[in-house]
Amino acid sequence: MTYGYLTADLVDAFVALVVDAGQRLGGSSDPRVIRQVARDALDPQGHAVISTALVDGRLVGAVIALVGGSRSYWLRFPARHPLVGGRMAGHRLREAVLSRAASSRRARPAPAAPGGVGRQISAAEDAVAVVPPAAGAGPSLRDHGADVAFGALALVAADQRGRGIGVGVYEQVFARLRERGITNYRGSIEFGNEASVRMCAALGFTIYRYPHGWFVSIDLAER
């Protein structure tokens, strides 16, 4: 297994991996837009960071993190991102963009678990402590600055799952984000993708439960 970052010779394989994920999950994607994101990642100061995992030279995993240097960039990006309009690797970008008010209204009230502020969701997710947002509070992807990255996409080839590849590509993207001065990484996981939730819990994410899925956040400065 070799971990690294997207290079020009991997762009075609990266596009194919993302398109395949979209087809398998019933979503849609535009290869031209995916290439645009890939080109952005090839720029050391671009708005995207893409980490990769290779097995015998084959691209089998990737994580895309979006690095927005301004509020206007972040608010425009959902309108042209390949995740919009379809499910891509369990993420739903539109639903991830939550205002604080909407987060509070949609959050499920839940009692605190013994000895902590979280609660168990189900036996399948017993490693996940969920912090219910207080009234008027909760995470928001609209409150950000140049020190925050949004995890837009994380995927592993179907025949390579269960080998810990996801953890490796996350750690790789975290390293590059820290080099760029990013201190917080946020993302979303669609309901039903408990494997990704457990992986995020193992990586040390704070995880919030909402009716549509999960919002995850991690402080990179403390890793």
Number of residues in the chain: 223
CATH number of the domain bearing residue 52 = 3.40.630.30
Report the amino acid identity of residue 218: I
pLDDT, position 87: 32
Mapped onto helix, strand or coil, the DSSP state of residue 21 is helix
The DSSP call for residue 165 is: H
Could you give phi then psi for residue 131, rounded to 5 degrees?
Answer: -100, 105
| Total domains, the chain | 1
Calculate mean pLDDT across residues 121-142.
Answer: 48
Question: For residues 50 and 173, what is the distance between their CA atoms, to the nearest angstrom?
Answer: 7
Using the predicted structure, report yes or no on whether residue 83 has a pLDDT greater than 80: no
pLDDT mean across residues, the chain: 70
Question: Containing domain of residue 152, as a range?
Answer: 2-222
Distances from the Cα of 153 to the Cα of 17, 108, 175, angstroms: 11, 25, 17
The model's pTM: 0.72
More confident call, 148 vs 98: 148
